Chain A
């Protein structure tokens, strides 16, 4: 899965020369075989490397603050989203929903690598949500729908239907 995600990212970044990957350990951590140096290990590490390779530094944030925010969500993806239990998912969605209340993207005013990686990590969770739950996390689904329609991002993942209009009366107001 992580390797498909990286190959989607390569396509998004328009990298012509495909990189060589392998995986490491039970958790199948991606490893990039690097001709110019030692291999790079870890999804976030490799993804950041690809962004640099494609000379798209803005995808890692356009200021020191936004770069830190991007890194924070990248870490969140691999250390929280990827290992969360069924119960954790609800808290994660609730927190993200509040965070995204006044935001279009996870960091700053532009699409970044954080949007791409959190989108990929949350996709299996959103698949499992009932329509009613999707409405409960309306800011997450709005952001999710925006990212899945962002040119070149979705690639290997199936699109998820998100209703733009509420069909249930809101219980949370």
Chain B
């Protein structure tokens, strides 16, 4: 099994944290952002996992799920729900926020873009009585959401407002050895600037307005 990652790529933070947390045996190879690892995709997609069967996983969430499952933790329905929310609601907002903060120097507008999803997360966490998103132990949902949030939440120059419950949960997960180590590997202590070369190679995010007025599945 082989995992392909690239430096400064926020999605690689997820899979490296999941890899360290689960202790799954896997070779890791660092490649360029443009490296075409998944043979059937037109655009380079990293991270990617080459499975023992020869199939490729190109979704970081699916890679994390796989690692947790082979280490004995299948994702619960609550986990599924968090992962779906992350992919459909949180990622589009984060992509826009990172684009603004890293490439356009508009860090001051980031709080506006992230307010909705952060409020939702805060509200959900405020109702919980468990230390982690889905229970007493860390699940794939914690790793995926923590890694998604890490680049913007660990940068103190972005005034994201007070999300007391998100902050407490975030700090708890950040304190884990696996997460600390993954953050160091991917961002190398450079914070948002460590993602610049990655972000420059990403297509500009579609405006959220366009997304809302033409939903394909309504």
Contacts and interface: CB of A to CB of B under 8 A. Distances in A.
B129 interface: no
A140 B17 CA distance: 35
B134 to A, nearest CB: 12
A40 B218 contact: no
A79 B70 CA distance: 25
A133 B63 CA distance: 33
A83 B92 CA distance: 10
A151 to B, nearest CB: 24
A101 B39 CA distance: 12
Contact of A65 (B41, B53, B84): B53
A95 B44 CA distance: 12
B216 interface: yes
A72 B59 contact: yes
Interface residues of A, number: 40
Nearest to A85: B206
Given A64-B69, A67-B69, A42 B217 contact: no
A42 B84 contact: yes
B149 interface: no
Interface stretch (A10-18, A43-51, A159-167): A43-51
Given A81-B216, A91-B43, A75 B69 contact: no
B24 to A, nearest CB: 11
Interface string A74-112: 011011011111000001001100110100000000000
Nearest to A84: B216
B66 A68 contact: yes
Contact of A68 (B63, B85, B217, B218): B63
Interface residues of B, number: 37
A72 B91 contact: no
Nearest to B66: A68
A48 B75 CA distance: 11
Contacts of B51: 65, 68
Interface in B41-59: 41-43, 51-53, 55, 57-59
Given A67-B69, A75-B59, A78-B88, A28 B77 contact: no
A45 B78 CA distance: 8
A41 B80 CA distance: 9
Contacts of A125: 216
Contacts of A91: 42-43
A158 interface: no
3 A-B pairs with the lowest CB-CB distances in the bound complex, closest first: A72-B62, A68-B66, A42-B84
Given A40-B77, A42-B81, A48-B80, 6 more contacts: A28-B215, A44-B84, A64-B69, A83-B206, A91-B42, A99-B40
Interface of B: 39-43, 51-53, 55, 57-59, 61-63, 65-66, 69-70, 77, 80-81, 83-85, 87-88, 91-92, 206, 210-212, 215-218
